[in-house]
Structure 1
Amino acid sequence: MPELLPLRVAGLALVKTPGALVRGLWSLLRTVGGLGALTLWDLVLVLINNVTFKRRVGSVIPPGLPGHNGVWPEFVPPTPSDSRSPCPVLNAMANHGILPRNGRDIPLDVLAKKIDQTCNVSPTVTRSVNAALESNFGRRIIDLGDLCSPNVIEHEASLTREDFYFQPDVSKPSASLCKRLLAQAGDRPTLSAADFSRFASIRRAESKAHNPHFYMTLGHKLFGSANCAVLYEVFGGRVDDIEVMLLEERFRDGWEPRCRGRMGFTNAQFHLRTLQIELGIKSVKADPFSDAAAVEPRPERS
């Protein structure tokens, strides 16, 4: 009877709600338990790094793997049909054939393993990255170009890419921005954490001032600082290494990861360095004559 419909709906809600609550609670417990296990695992790796000898120079990457003793597979620039990301390191891995050269159909497990081997980062780092990618894209196989999706991994105020508003193809580096980042070191051979924070401060101010579609969440800010942490730790902040990586998206001959811990660059190191760089970012005024002011706007994002 129609007059009983609200009661039936209420009854179904009462029956279904406990099940939904149980499933939600179980999902929460699994998440918390997974984070706890990952954190414990990472702390063990930190301990091992601190009580064992670092990997020898020339053997940071084990024998038999690409990059051992600084010898990298042939560099081949991408073709127009190849898929590339906003991440210069992933692009370089594809350009050297460590990842599929076309940048397509890469299982996340393969991506994690190759990053571990190439950059000497711990599996706890790549496990966290893979979880974020799977959560964002809802699948375990991706193209590098998927990472160009606006405001997912890609974000405004990048230190090496123009904002989407000015350059929709964020897979391509901006030579001007890359050179400005490198110039932060002045006469020094390395970029410091403070250098990355300073240029990030400038880029955020420029983007906010000149990009009418500026959008940046806390997550985007932390991701940007995390990218800086990689350049600081994995590349040691060395200008000669970073210059080739950013402008040509290849590994310089003789380069190997500067983080030489036996268990690799851990989540703890990664998060602490990211936090240091993020906390060093200040609110500054944009230079009205900066590059961003002179870039011709492109079509609005759909």
Structure 2
Amino acid sequence: MLNSLANHGYLPRTGQDIDAETLRNALQSNSFDPGAFSDIILLALSTSTTGNSSTFNLADTAKHNIIEHDGSLSRDDFFHGGNDLNLNPAIWGQVFSHFSNDTISIETAAKARLDRVANAKETNPEYSQPSGDTGSLAETAFYLMLFGDRVDGNARTEWVRIFFEQERFPFTEGYTKKEPVITIDEIEAMIGKISAVAE
């Protein structure tokens, strides 16, 4: 999400020296109530290596278990010592292999997430999610709500693929921003639906 916001110019394209107000405005401009991200904004600022505690760089957010987390749908776990900033084609391929229809239901998305988390736990002896898998649950909720219905999911598969693989919003493919913005209550409701799906 943050990379996509930078790629479209809602955040500095350099990914550097981002302040809280700029991030709030970028979220507000792209379908989310920035109040829903207050904790994440504070976490992002806590990672700062800019020399200014009121700004951060996108690369700073890769610090383990701050915003970066184990069991990501598209990034490798920190434990493996690889690149946890950029798309990992093998990990994303495993997740995307679940998406065989034109749209992704809540059940399909939830099972893809569970499969990814199970794989991460099998391959990472230090797997941890301090907030109880909230990171990967939120990832799934965000794409379902952005590219589908904010209540029922059914995200367009091609739009989700573009978002993850090209780190951009699929505007040219027909995507339009959500109005009104998605709230924390709606996000929590979608997370609850995802959590309710078992293998």
User: Smaller-chain TM-score range?
Assistant: 0.7 to 0.9
Over 3 Å counting, the alpha-carbon distance change for 1:146 and 1:257 in structure 2 is: farther
> Could you tell me whether the CA contact under 8 Å between 1:234 and 1:257 is conserved in 2?
no
> Could you tell me whether the CA contact under 8 Å between 1:120 and 1:257 is conserved in 2?
no
TM-align CA RMSD? 2.1
Q: Does 1:101 align with 2:5?
A: no
Q: Which residue of 1 aligns with 2:75?
A: 161
Q: Which residue of 2 aligns with 1:52?
A: none
Give deviations 1:204-257, integer Å, cap 9, x for gaps.
22122221222223x150121011100000121211111111112122324434
Q: How many residue pairs end up in the alignment?
A: 188
Once the two structures are superposed, the pairs formed by residues 1-302 of structure 1 within 5 Å of their partners are: 89-117=1-29, 119-134=30-45, 136-137=46-47, 139-186=53-100, 188-217=101-130, 219=131, 221-236=133-148, 237-252=155-170, 253-257=172-176, 260-262=178-180, 264-282=181-199
Once the two structures are aligned, what percentage of the paired residues are identical? 22
Q: Gaps (5+ residues) in structure 2?
A: 149-154
Structure-2 separation of matches of 1:255 and 1:167: 38
Letter of the 2:62 partner, please give it. C
Over 3 Å counting, the alpha-carbon distance change for 1:167 and 1:193 in structure 2 is: farther
Normalised to the residue count of structure 1, the TM-score between the two structures is: 0.57
Structure-1 separation of matches of 2:174 and 2:40: 24
> Could you tell me whether the CA contact under 8 Å between 2:40 and 2:67 is conserved in 1?
no
Compute the displacement of 1:191 (Å). Answer: 1.1
Q: Gaps (5+ residues) in structure 1?
A: 1-88, 283-302
Compute the displacement of 1:131 (Å). Answer: 4.0
Normalised to the residue count of structure 2, the TM-score between the two structures is: 0.84
Structure-1 separation of matches of 2:173 and 2:34: 24
Compute the displacement of 1:98 (Å). Answer: 2.4
Structure-2 separation of matches of 1:122 and 1:96: 19
Over 3 Å counting, the alpha-carbon distance change for 1:133 and 1:278 in structure 2 is: farther
> Could you tell me whether the CA contact under 8 Å between 2:18 and 2:56 is conserved in 1?
yes
Letter of the 1:197 partner, please give it. A
Over 3 Å counting, the alpha-carbon distance change for 1:123 and 1:212 in structure 2 is: closer
Compute the displacement of 1:177 (Å). Answer: 2.4
Structure-2 separation of matches of 1:128 and 1:257: 26
Give deviations 1:38-59, integer Å, cap 9, x for gaps.
xxxxxxxxxxxxxxxxxxxxxx
SS of 1:234's partner is: helix
